[in-house]
Structure 1
Amino acid sequence: MVNTISRVLLGYLIIFWLSQFLGLENGSWVVLALWTLSGLLVLWPGADDLLARYLFGLRRPTLVESQRLAPSWFGVGHRAGIDPRPFSMWIQMGEVPTAGVAGGRTVAVTSWAVNGLPPGHLEAVLAFDYATHLHGNSWIGRLLHWYSAPARLVGAGVRRLLRLSRTIPAVGCTIVGFLILAYIGLFLFVLVFYDGWTIPLLYLSPLLLPAIFAGLGKWNERMADQAVVDLGLGRKLLEVLYGWQAQHQQATRKIGLTQPDWLSGQPVVAERIRALELYLQRF
């Protein structure tokens, strides 16, 4: 929840930044007010499915996948003392152990997990997703996820640029370099022609806040991992992370990749493993 609220704040900053960039200096607050009113759209009963499909890029599980997910998800509901039926299951395509947070009554699981894990370990992965948004099934949670959409879209764009710069270095680095120079020029223009420090600091926020949000994201992920331990599935989740790490390292050696570890996500999983082991030692 803390990470979601932080993304909401960044989302408002992005909207304000765009309105300033488009020359709507006097109308910035009108744009922000309209963006706030747009949140009423997510109160529509079918908003969860629309957000899952079009905002988070998830898909519905197939019949076979639903049959695999149902026993594990009902097991999570029994452990957590909740009715699992109001929640809807969605699949996030990707070779990662746990899915990103979709919020609302949406439970997301990765295609890697649903197709490769036995029921007990799949239950641990589903428990992690439930733990990431324990209080996200209210209308407040829906609004927060909607207002954080600009921050999520910008983050997705940055990740795509990083992948492009790694896959096609000449093209990717040219695009990234152009954007950096354009951003520096825009910031210098604002610094020279605007009085005070408020507007320049707002333009600096896209550079300063991602590091803060990354830390908050790790904190939120760690709290969810601990909640899985509290549900009695900590060792199963630990085995999932170990299995993913071993499989990822093996695949990397086979195709001969030499990408930095921070791009592969491996240190994140390693940190989760260490934190889980320390937390499990208390029990």
Structure 2
Amino acid sequence: MSSVRPRRSVLYMPGANARALDKARTLPADALILDLEDAVSPDSKELARNQIAEAVKTGGYGYRELIVRINGLDTPWGLADLKAIAPLGADAILLPKVEDPATVSKAAIALEQAGASAKTTLWAMMETPLGILRAAEIAAVSKRLTCFVMGTSDLTKDLHARHTPLRLPMLTSLGLCLLAGRAYGLTILDGVYLDLKDEAGFEESCIQGLELGFDGKTLIHPSQVEPANKVFAPSEGEIAWSRKIIEAFAEAEAQGKGVVLVDGKLIENLHVDNARRVVALADAIAARG
């Protein structure tokens, strides 16, 4: 659990906006997705690539994880994006609209050939019906792949569905990706919330994502960072209960007891494993100050 990395808030930043890339160094987001795809017009692709490359090389982002979303490998810009970013030491390269394992395999090979270190992993956008149906195959294809990112806006469009408060049209897709991600040990991040004025709705969406099992949420505006950080961080009560479980279980083991009761509740290995995860996440967050 010592290697746990908080990804409560993962903020998209447009690569063509130099001021935004600079401002990101001061935001309390756990991770930043420097975007070359949706947020960049075709005539600004090269400018954005150069600006993101310079930002990654310059650094100064502190604990913030740096992910670069490139254009699709089937576009005129995708492979050039990957080759430009691969050797610079970004934490990950995010592949848009992944629909099959071959896309991930091709990107992994290109990363190796471009001189990427083992530190630079691959993340995959899950945002099309075909990609969702192949989630397990995609999750299993490469050790370079470490994270699924839900692209719920594109998915809603492709499904001819609606954005609703409870997101019932999304639950099948979210569930399939959660199952595949957890089965193969991936981080998985919830999709964005588009209505910046609806603060209460955003918080409810974060709470729902947490309850479903997501590690954090992708964001479209700095104002969403603090609420996401709050929801996806363990509460003081959770932390205290988790520490109590861990201590009681260790004491019972030392005494050779097979059954552990804490405040009248039966505690098993699965509870201890989850408690350790909660404490490790809390400690990692606290270490950031």
Task: Please report the TM-score for the alignment, with normalisation by the length of structure 1.
Answer: 0.25
Q: Is the strand fraction higher in 1 or 2? A: 2
Query: Bigger radius of gyration, 1 or 2?
Result: 1
Structure possessing the higher relative contact order (Cα contacts under 8 Å, 6 or more residues apart): 1
Task: Please report the TM-score for the alignment, with normalisation by the length of structure 2.
Answer: 0.25
